[in-house]
A and B are shown apart, each in its own frame.
Chain A
Amino acid sequence: MSIIALIALRSLKKNKSRTTATAVGIFLSILLMTAIIVLVMSLLSSLIVTTIASKGDWHFFTWNIPSEQVNFVLETGKVQETATIYNVGYAAIVNPSNERKPYIHHSAVSMSIFQMLPIILINGRLPQNPNEVLLPTHFANDYKDIKIGDSIVLSFGKRCSIAGDELSQNSNYMGTSNEGIEQLGESKIYYIVGITEEINFIENDFSPGYTILSLDTNAGFDNKVVYYRLNNPKANFYAVTSIVSETNIAYNNDLLSVQGIVGKENLRGSIVAMAVVLMLIITVASSSLISNSFMISVSERIKQYALLCSIGATKKQIIQTVVYEALFLSTFLIPLGLACGIGCVALSLSSIGKLVSASSYLNLVFKLNVNALAVASIVIFGVSLILLSAFLPALQSVKKHIIATIRQNDEIKIRKEKALKPKKEKSIEAELVGKNFQRFNKKYRYVIFSLVCSMVLFVATSSYCSYATIWINESMELLDYDIVCNTYYDVYKSINNVYLPLSEIVGVSDSGWFSSVDAGWIVFDNSALTDSASQYYSERNEAKETIQYVFVDDLRFISLMTKLHKDVSKFMNKNEMRAIILANIDAIRISGNDYTTETIDVFIDKTVSFDINYMNNDNRQEYYSNPDADFLDYSKRISITADVISRKNLSVELSNLSQASGIYAIIPLTMLDAFADDIPQMVQMFFKAQNHKTVFNRMEKFLTSNNVDAFLDDVTIGYEMQQNTIAMVNIFSKVFIIVVSMVMILSVLNTTLASVLIRKRDFVILRSIGMSIRSFVKTMLYEYSLYGAVSIILGLSLSFLISWILKFSFSASMKFILPINNIVIALLSIIFILAASMTYAIYKILTDNIIDSLKTEIT
């Protein structure tokens, strides 16, 4: 081995504290970088697999297009795989146990459908020929005597309305008098080979037929629905889909969005953009971690290089020692950091996967994703950073520090002008620390640097994650409720017979209702309007606006008033016509192809009085039948006083109104007769439920068994992707913060401990010349308080600044979040870590043998 390599290797071995500190720093930074890159990549791939699990692995499907056109699409060579569904027909069930599902609906599918669409086999096996069928689980539940292994004889025909139109699974059952099955085919024996979950891409909640699947062995695409999965979808999507007429194609929008194919709702793009910002933060942090870990021993290093220089080592040779040292460290630590980073993420993903599947109704699938490119860039980045960090001190020493170093007084470089004059009599310990602080300026700098960096990184990451969570929540436009139910009975009957029982169903966590009705017109007094509102109305040549009554539950109204700090009694007094109103208009401004929506406040004052040209039921019918009639002057006028409130932060049942443009008067139900002449006939109810599927089934059961005529809708199903995404982003940002905090805590521990251990000799000298233990502890205390104070002040101000800057990476309208909790956590951890490492350092120095310490680790 060359003498240079020997020196490098021996120095690493010999200077244990310094090598350990450097090694830990490098290791942590590689780990951090790996973990973050792998997390982001896994987030993206998890979103994709989660979407595939719920929506299927296909990009679009076509229906009703001739075989030739399908072949034309396939001939482009850009389609990786197709799957087909052929609608065989309906068979009527004799004595159906569910009146709304009197049919079996038979679809013959290609084998590939089982890979491309989310069909979940619960029991049994897949069909292997046209005579074998899979039954859906709800059929098996409704008809318990039919089992796997049984055979059934069925003949299928067309489901047609009386008028002769063919009906599909998309129209609900209209009764024997309105529809029937025609052109029955021959009877065949079908063998039941398996049970699947309901086939929700064919069958809805209201579809009249249970969907059973058999294998379609016919080639050709005539009369089939064809699903396509593309090769390289990003490049080929538009080319392929443009072949098919728009009316016969539909897309897997969720998958296109997470794969970053569709431009407008390009979720992937946004996540990647967020990740890039995060990567920048992490890169800065890792760089500082690594360079810091070298800076810890910078003066020791400079001394060694200077020594070599003085006995005639060339610049090249000195740089060689640096390269060797960096390479030795990289060879061991980069692979270790990579492995541990990937391991960390793999471990957390698998444990989170278990937790989520055990405790949540969401179908999240986690997939670890690493690729060679990412690994390679981490390695390259890590090696260059290590080299650079090691070079800087070497270059410095080669340049100018030789003499100073050889004189062994390199640290005595206090600029006299800058030295603070002691203002008052200080204790010897304080003075010692003060002097040290100036003398060992460089050595202190990196500890403070490391503390500040950690704090800022932690706060920045957490505020970034909260911004991301808010952003994703807002951009996803989730509803505040999961299930909606509309009834057309009068308000009182609806509430007593439908709303109350439904809201008590197990699993409903919040509920509410409102009943709205067009109440008539307000004729404006122009002076009450805001400038933009008068402009808006004058542009339209109008001086009036419709008003709707929104009746709500008394108790919920009271709690709303309490939240708004208003006196409820004023609004529930029949002699005083007072209401709460929402009065905003969303004005659309079109410029070219773009349009923007601007929300305008209608009234200037927060409290306004106006007259309503009231319409009763008869007026309303008149108005609906002739909505173009310019202005209807009804007989009755109602004068009301209204408090204008904001559209934000309304309760569940009113959350729809947060988008409502126009004037809405919110009135408690007790005040109905004061404001209206007739009882409203429509009630909308809103329910929140974690497990919306189960709750929906329970509600449906209640409605059918009580013969309630109502429209029930599980609106959350349509938001599954959004919910999954939000949950994913939330989970990943938690893991993120945990990883970042662990790494930061370790790195701060590393630097503070190393700083003391490397300077052990200084302290030992102090002890050897007779400093008392008490005095020594006091010195350490001063020193650490100084670290703490300086870094907390710097850290806090930088954290504020960075949190504030980060908000702009989302949108200017994003409100500034100061992660107070996290700042407090960061402060407490810094104090705790400092205390812990101080205790350890004191213990270490006090228990070590003085002579040993004096003699070893002189570099």
Chain B
Amino acid sequence: MNIIEIIALTKSYGAEERKVTALDAVTFSVTKGEFLAIVGQSGSGKSTLLHLLAGLDRPDCGSVFVDGVDIFTLKGDSLAEYRRRQIGIIYQFYNLIPVLTVEENVTLPVRLDNKKVDKKRLADLLSMLNLSDRKTHLPNQLSGGQQQRTAIARALFFEPMIILADEPTGNLDTNNSNDIINYLARLNKEFSQTILLITHDEKIASRAGRVVTLSDGKIIKDVRN
């Protein structure tokens, strides 16, 4: 079953002669439980694709169906709800709220949803990500790896259908990178979590079940391992 259906997605920036086509009629689909790596050189359109999937931006044309819903028809609160419940986003630069502690950052989407925080799940998640002894720290008191793990915990906490990760290891050393990828792989294996991972690291990509290669906004390769 296809959880994501991307049809002829096109996005360009700028106008006239300086027009850059970041995504050029990209079409592919992702099945539930798939661990998909998107690779490509810098500027090939990977982040653009991810932002469109997260509903953070709008395409020039084309559509994205997530669980059967055309996300570009969502507006206002339902779009926010989609971002909160259906997807978890992990960025290269963590994007944690600096004034909130680890615990608070992780539970932020739930609390924005006015739901009760499941204390046990929080404890489990933090211990799984090795953050139990850091839960009352503020982001700037953490190392890069810890910050990224916090961001992962935040993305996971709502048990989203899909995890979107934009070069989550781009900022980390090899050890920390391996840790992060291991977590993601484990999530995929143990909980059948659908994961879209952007990277330009071939080695990391090789951990995924499927690798899509972008170049100049077009898919040039789509390989299943």
Contacts and interface: CB of A to CB of B under 8 A. Distances in A.
Contacts of A313: 80, 84, 112
Nearest to B51: A403
A464 B51 CA distance: 55
A307 B80 contact: no
A14 B99 CA distance: 7
Given A311-B89, A312-B82, 17 more contacts: A2-B111, A3-B107, A3-B112, A6-B104, A7-B97, A14-B99, A307-B95, A310-B89, A311-B108, A312-B109, A314-B76, A314-B80, A314-B81, A403-B51, A403-B56, A406-B91, A416-B18
Contacts of A402: 56-57
A858 B111 CA distance: 24
A408 interface: yes
Contact of B95 (A11, A14, A310, A855): A310
Contact of B85 (A2, A4, A312, A315): A312
Contact of B76 (A3, A310, A315, A406): A315
A7 B99 CA distance: 7
Contact of B47 (A307, A407, A416, A859): A407
B46 interface: no
Chain A interface size range:
20 to 34
Contacts of A856: 140
A317 B95 contact: no
Interface string B96-118: 01111000100111011100000
Interface string A1-41: 01110110011011000000000000000000000000000
Nearest to A12: B99
Given A3-B104, A3-B112, A311 B84 contact: yes
Interface of chain B: mostly helix, strand, loop or mixed: helix
A312 B76 CA distance: 10
A858 B96 CA distance: 11
Shortest beta-carbon contacts, A-B, top 9: A312-B84, A10-B99, A3-B111, A312-B83, A314-B80, A14-B99, A855-B140, A314-B77, A11-B99
B54 interface: yes
Nearest to B82: A312
A433 to B, nearest CB: 27
A310 B54 contact: yes
B154 interface: yes
Contacts of B104: 3, 6
Interface string B48-89: 000100101100000000000000000011001111110001
Given A311-B84, A312-B84, A312-B109, A403 B57 contact: yes
29 contacts: A3-B104, A3-B112, A11-B99, A14-B98, A14-B99, A304-B97, A307-B97, A308-B112, A309-B80, A310-B56, A311-B108, A311-B109, A312-B81, A312-B109, A312-B112, A312-B113, A313-B84, A313-B112, A314-B80, A315-B80, A402-B57, A403-B51, A403-B57, A406-B56, A406-B91, A407-B47, A416-B18, A855-B140, A858-B98
A859 B98 contact: yes
B46 to A, nearest CB: 12
A406 B81 CA distance: 19
* Residue in B51, B81, B104, B108 with the greatest tally of chain A CB atoms within 10 Å: B108
A4 B47 CA distance: 29
A316 interface: yes
A317 B54 CA distance: 19
Interface of chain A: mostly helix, strand, loop or mixed: helix
Nearest to B14: A416
Contact of A311 (B51, B83, B93, B140): B83
Contacts of B54: 310
A246 to B, nearest CB: 73
Nearest to A2: B111
A316 B81 CA distance: 12
Interface in B105-149: 107-109, 111-113, 140
Nearest to A408: B93
* Residue in A13, A312, A314, A408 with the greatest tally of chain B CB atoms within 10 Å: A312
A751 B127 CA distance: 45
Contacts of A14: 98-99
Contacts of B91: 406
Nearest to B111: A3
A406 B48 CA distance: 12
Interface string A405-425: 011100000001000000000
Contacts of B84: 311-313
Interface in A239-273: none
A311 B51 CA distance: 12
A36 to B, nearest CB: 36
A314 B75 CA distance: 10
Interface in A308-328: 308-317
Contacts of A4: 112
Contacts of A406: 51, 56, 91, 95
A674 B95 CA distance: 100
Interface in B20-57: 47, 51, 54, 56-57
A859 B109 CA distance: 20
B146 to A, nearest CB: 14
Nearest to A316: B77
Contacts of A416: 18
A157 B208 CA distance: 125
Contacts of B154: 311
Interface string B143-159: 00000000000100000
B78 to A, nearest CB: 9
A859 B98 CA distance: 7
Interface in A828-859: 855-856, 858-859
A10 B96 CA distance: 14
A653 B89 CA distance: 89
Contact of A10 (B51, B57, B100, B107): B100
Contacts of B85: 312
Contact of A310 (B47, B83, B100, B140): B83
A859 B57 CA distance: 23
Contacts of A308: 97, 112
Nearest to B166: A406
Contacts of A403: 51, 56-57
Contacts of B100: 6-7, 10
A308 B83 CA distance: 11
Contacts of A859: 98-99
